[in-house]
Amino acid sequence: MARTLGYRSILVPLADNPETEKAVDVACKLAAEHGAKLVALAVVEVPPLLPLDAHMKPEEAAAQRLLARARTVADAYGVHFVERVARGREAATPIVQLAQSERSELIVIGTPRRVRPRLSAPVFGHTTQSVLKHSPCRVMVIAAPAPVVPVPSAPEWPGESSSSAAVRSS
């Protein structure tokens, strides 16, 4: 018999990208299905040269706009919505801390997928990698499909056309 997961608290960190919009939608669907509370977090990243309580009005306004968009989606699903704004040097720390304090069972994070210059390079950015590593709960990553990378064709020998090279290789 399959065991279904029950969620009481789902955390969705907000960023200004299409993957986050999809993550909010997925988180709202899950919250509606499980009767869970949805906690939306907008992080204001403060540069290291500034104090954490520095005035950052444009960034705070952007955070409020992200929360308003998420609230609109949550209202459409009829889920209990809680909004939070946090400050930090990088976004992962407040995300993990809020997941702990809210006792979230799931973090749904939207993130762009990186084009990797080599196989050992990370697929996701620093924030997502750090959340995956330090999260106290399950993490669902919503990412864009992998970009299609063209595969170079076999080199042609001087004086050969591509059709004669194919015949030679068979």
Tokens of 48: 């290291």
Round to the nearest angstrom and report the end-to-end CA distance of the chain.
Answer: 52
The pTM score is 0.81
C-alpha 135/C-alpha 139 separation (Å) is: 7
| Tens digits of residue pLDDT in 85-144 | 999 999 999 999 999 999 999 999 999 887 766 777 778 889 999 999 999 999 999 998
Domains observed in the chain? 9-147 (3.40.50.620)
